[in-house]
A and B are shown apart, each in its own frame.
Chain A
Amino acid sequence: MKLIFEKSVKGRDGYSLPADLFDEVNIRDCIPAYAATDAKRILSEVSEVDVVRHFTKLSKFNYGVDDGLYPLGSCTMKYSPKVDEKLAALDNFVYAHPLAPEEIVQGCLEIMYESDKLFCEITGVDQYTMAPAAGAHGELTGNLIMRKYFVDHGEKRHKMLVPDSAHGTNPASAAMSGFKMVEVKSNKEGTVDIKQLDELMDEDTAGLMLTNPNTVGLYDDRIQDIERIVHGKGGLLYYDGANLNASLGIIRPGDAGFDIVHLNLHKTFSTPHGGGGPGAGVIGVKKLLIPYLPTPIVTSDGKKYHLTDIGEKSIGMVRAFWANFAVLLKTYVWILSMGADGLCDVSEASVINANYVLAKLKKHYRPAYDRYCGHECVLTGRDYKKHGVKTLDIAKRLMDYGIHPPTIYFPHFEPYAEETMMIEPPESESKEVLDEFIDAMIKISNEAKTNPEFLTSAPHATPIRRTDDVLAARRPILTYDDELKLKDELQYRDEDINF
């Protein structure tokens, strides 16, 4: 479809300013010659109508949770309630300046303070920081806290243990925080190899980053051994909250011995993903780590709320201002809407959903681990390789059935998890929706045997078809101006894409 630049018509505009533009002030008196621009920046020239149609059309090339099942494993693509959006859009919040005097932002501070109390109760820790903007940002913050804690205690711990099944953000966060990442192998049950953990955990190691249920959707039955081993050598336990959707009201990470917990508010706590954010990756800690949290936190003296400096041991700030406040507010509304029992129901329903999909599909797609799963299950397409069909082809074909594919090729370690698809059907999905998905998957498994070429060339019914990603990397066109420079070489089929 055409770019906004290709719809530009000289002289059009889509914005209004007041009539009085302070014409009597001479811009040459304001901006020194060394900084004054000599030409306007060329953007585009379109009317409001053009803009509305352009972006409405663009939106139709996207698929969202409100369109249907979005079973991305470890992403918890659940329904985002509309009332959350409405309340987060109230003027008194939307227009609140982060540096306004405390006495006139008491409402914002109350939301932050009360959210902290709820998160602490739900996860069994003592204090949250609302600063981190995303899960990986929370991981970075948590790792920096561990680093600071050990420096403060005069210990030189330079290693961080990360399971081989961890998301890529875990090793990257550890590395960014100055730790040498040490990988812990998974056993054939898909959980941490305790013997190896015991060998690796030593007094040079700051701790272990772990997800529970783990990144393949399995509860670790030896969580107490893990805790004993890590704490036994003076290390800290970090809980990656990507999979908390399986644990609400069932296990609290803090009770299981975790010292630091991060939550993805855009996963477990229902805020929308926005095509890649903004979410929030708040982290909570046990008492011993509170002095190291990013500054400030919100406190209450019983009458008023305050932004309070955490003190000199703080790792500092990890962003400007205080929080992804609008995201936090949506989460607060969601928790109040769910209530204590509702939160338990979330985990119960999501675990049943995932096990139902596993039970119905395991005859057709050999599971990576044949045992009950948490809130997500890992199936494989390995039996279709002999027909020349890869998991990628199965995923692409699923789009033709109007369903977003699950996470594919993750986890991707051999020998248990090969050609994987990780399926997470959150609590907001009904049995009928899952049955449609299961039907589609079974049909595709038959197609893989009888008509494999149809899968390897899928999708067929989407606005665009498979993309040449190698070309994109080999000949980077990263702006429209890059394209214009190559105009003569590029020969696109100049037919507009349809939906």
Chain B
Amino acid sequence: MRYIPNTEEQKKEMLNDIGVSSFEDLIRVIPADVRLKGRLNVPEAMSEAEVAEKIYHIARKNSDFFLMKPLIGAGAYRHHVPEAEKFLLQREEFWTSYTPYQPELSQGTLQSMFEFQTYLARLTKMDVVIPSIYDGASATAEAVLMSLRLKHRNRIITSASLHPHYRETIKTYVAPHEPVTIELPYEDGLVDIGKLKELITDDTASVIVQNPNFFGGIENLAEICEIVHSKDALVIDAVAESMSLGVLKAPGEMGIDIVAGEAQSFGMDLNFGGPYNGYLATKKEFLRQLPGRIVGETKDIDGKRVFVMTMRAREQDIRREKATSNICSNHGLNITAANIYLSLLGTEGLYKVSLFNTKAAHYLEKLLLKSGRFERVFDYPFYNEFLLRSKNTVSIVNGKLLGNNFLPPLEISRFYKEEEFKDVLLFAVTEVLSREDLNKLAKILSE
């Protein structure tokens, strides 16, 4: 077998050196009754060429997604990923190394984590960053657990305009703690501020909102923070589309306590939902309650600046059942992906992409409204996603779109069962769509 180098002869030699006559001698301790009788019912080995052909055939059962123009986001965004990033990520030193427990052989990974922490701290204007939790949803759930520990209170309020998968994930993670979980309704596509004032209590640990929210709406975070902080509770801001940080005021400037983000937009392909990369950003005072790995700067014995994993007394391999979380492996390589991506974009690039996404989305909304085939559901400010009610049924719209190689927007009734969401679509626009694409789309949909 090409991945197992030792020959039969070497095997014999090694068994001889061990002092046994067969492999069986080494595993005799396993009781015969639990041994597998016979062979695994797994297909015979395929050659490299055979397996490649098989997978190419399976790939063709998907649409040809590269050339499909996406109108869907909802927590997973198609942005252009520069080839330089893809090329660099293939370097085996990044790909085939382990968690950087031995800093002398891992400065590449460690420095990359440190740089990404810096980027995210600047983007969110928070003090400290955990660069990798599995994804945005699990990062948000970890943030909620953190708030329960910090506040010693057992009531949380989750916004109904938070991504449904994020809400589901929070529910799963907090279930053992049995907190009272209240859903905060929306009003015209944004958090219902009046309701928030009613629902917030002295025993609330945290309020979880998403910005831009699941409908694309831009929340007034400062106002939300003021209300929530009056009861000494925390505000967790889930940022599912981190590209928005380029044009929106930073969560740290608005009073947010914990940012739980999804960095997929920073150079990660869609990959049918994963792997992406979650992150947490918060205030220095909460550092010791953070889950997951963080990198710090120090010196080596020669006095050089070096990077190491630090504040490790929070982690499972040291604190075991008293750790802040069980997280061990995270999505480390995606930290480097995002770091390379943000380095390529730079100060101007991030701003411009974020601006492009906002403007192109607003351009499309106007075009579609002008067509007379769509109407607004909410009168709300949005970033790059927006809701429109179609006068045609969704199946007619989707048929037209798929026929013209557009990937249809999300049918919002998949997640929201209210009557007002019948035939409502959540459009997303990114820089992979040009003015020409948007004009063509509007034309198709107005026919």
Given contacts A167-B317, A322-B273, contact A472 B11 (CB under 8 A): no
Over the window 294-324 of chain B, the binary record of Cβ atoms lying under 8 Å from chain A Cβ atoms (1 yes, 0 no) is: 1111111111111010111101111111110
For the complex of A and B, the 8 pairs showing the least CB-CB separation, nearest first, are: A178-B176, A339-B45, A276-B332, A321-B273, A274-B333, A98-B273, A278-B275, A64-B96
Q: How far is the CA of A41 from the CA of B251 in the complex (A)?
A: 12
Check A21–B352 contact: CB distance below 8 A: yes
Given contacts A105-B272, A463-B107, contact A98 B76 (CB under 8 A): yes
Pick from B29, B42, B287, B330: contact of A121, CB under 8 Å: B42
CB distance from B131 to the nearest CB of A (A): 10
Contact B348 A168 (CB under 8 A): no
Does A288 touch B at the CB level, under 8 Å? no
Kindly list 5 other residue pairs between chains A and B, CB separation below 8 angstroms, not including A55-B88, A462-B104. A37-B248, A94-B269, A97-B78, A336-B45, A395-B102
Residues of B within 8 A of A479 (CB): 114, 117-118, 121-122, 128-129
Determine if B202 is an interface residue (Cβ-Cβ < 8 Å).
no
Q: Which of A36, A83, A275 contacts B336 (CB 8 A)?
A: A275
Q: Which of B51-59, B153-161, B227-235 contacts A (4 or more CB under 8 A)?
A: B51-59
Closest chain A residue to B341 by CB distance?
A15
The answer to whether B275 touches A178, judged by C-beta atoms less than 8 angstroms apart, is no
A100 touches B72 (CB 8 A): yes
Instruction: Select B61's contact among A77, A78, A106, A467, beta carbons within 8 Å.
Output: A106
Residues of B within 8 A of A315 (CB): 172, 175
A349-B1 Cα distance, complex, nearest whole Å: 11
A93 engages B75 (CB within 8 Å): no
> When chains A and B are docked, how far (Å) is the Cα of A337 from the Cα of B150?
49
Interface size on A, residues (CB 8 A): 209
Bound-complex Cα distance A13 to B351 (A): 12
In the assembled complex, 30 residue pairs joining A and B whose CB atoms fall closer than 8 Å, in A order, are A15-B82, A18-B431, A21-B359, A35-B248, A38-B249, A43-B346, A58-B107, A58-B112, A62-B108, A66-B92, A87-B51, A95-B65, A168-B328, A169-B328, A248-B40, A275-B98, A277-B330, A316-B171, A318-B173, A319-B134, A320-B165, A321-B76, A325-B273, A352-B23, A399-B102, A463-B107, A466-B301, A477-B297, A478-B128, A493-B304
Interface size class of B (residues with CB under 8 A): 35 or more
Nearest CB in chain A to that of B36: its residue: A252
Chain B residues with CB under 8 Å of A371's CB are 29
Q: Which residues of B contact A319 (CB under 8 A)?
A: 134-135, 137-138, 165, 169, 274
**A171 touching B320 by the CB < 8 A rule?**
yes
Partner of B42, one of A62, A118, A218, A317: A118
Say if the beta carbon of A389 comes within 8 Å of chain B.
no
A99 touches B343 (CB 8 A): no
Query: Complex: how many Å from CA A122 to CA B363?
Result: 53
Q: How long is the Cα–Cα vector from A410 to B359 in the complex, in angstroms?
A: 55
Residue of B nearest to A462 (CB): B104
Judge whether A12 is part of the interface by a CB distance below 8 angstroms.
yes
Q: What is the distance, in angstroms, from B9's C-beta to the closest C-beta of chain A? A: 10
Chain A, range 465-484, C-beta contacts under 8 Å to B: 465-469, 471-473, 476-483
Asked whether, in the complex, the Cβ of B34 is within 8 Å of the Cβ of A91, the reply is no
B13, B98, B145, B270: the one within 8 Å of A273 (CB): B98
- Check A44–B270 contact: CB distance below 8 A: no
Q: Given the complex, which residues of B lie within 8 Å of A56, measured CB to CB?
A: 88, 91
Q: Is B269 in contact with A497, judged by CB distance below 8 angstroms?
A: no
Q: Do A36 and B249 touch (CB < 8 A)?
A: yes
The contact of B95 among A72, A272, A473, by CB within 8 Å, is A272
User: In the complex, A459→B104 CA distance in Å?
Assistant: 8
Query: Contact at A98–B359, with CB atoms within 8 Å?
Result: no
Given known pairs A41-B350, A59-B91, A345-B4, the reply for A122 and B172 (CB within 8 Å) is: no
Question: Are B272 and A45 in touch, CB under 8 angstroms?
Answer: no
Instruction: Tell me how far the C-beta of B362 lies from the nearest C-beta in chain A, rounded to whole angstroms.
Output: 5
On chain A, the residues within 8 Å of B82 by CB distance are: 14-15, 48
- Does B424 have its Cβ within 8 Å of any Cβ on chain A? no
Q: Which residues of A contact B94 (CB under 8 A)?
A: 59, 62, 64, 274-275
Query: Out of A91, A108, A324, A481, which one reaches B121, CB within 8 Å?
Result: A481
Name the residue on A nearest B25 (C-beta): A372
Alpha-carbon gap, A15 to B341, bound state (A): 9
Q: Are B325 and A172 in contact (CB under 8 A)?
A: yes
In the complex the two chains form, what is the Cα distance from A346 to B5 in whole Å?
11
Interface residues of A in 1-51 (CB under 8 A from B): 1, 3-5, 8, 12-15, 17-18, 20-22, 25, 27, 29-32, 34-38, 40-46, 48, 51
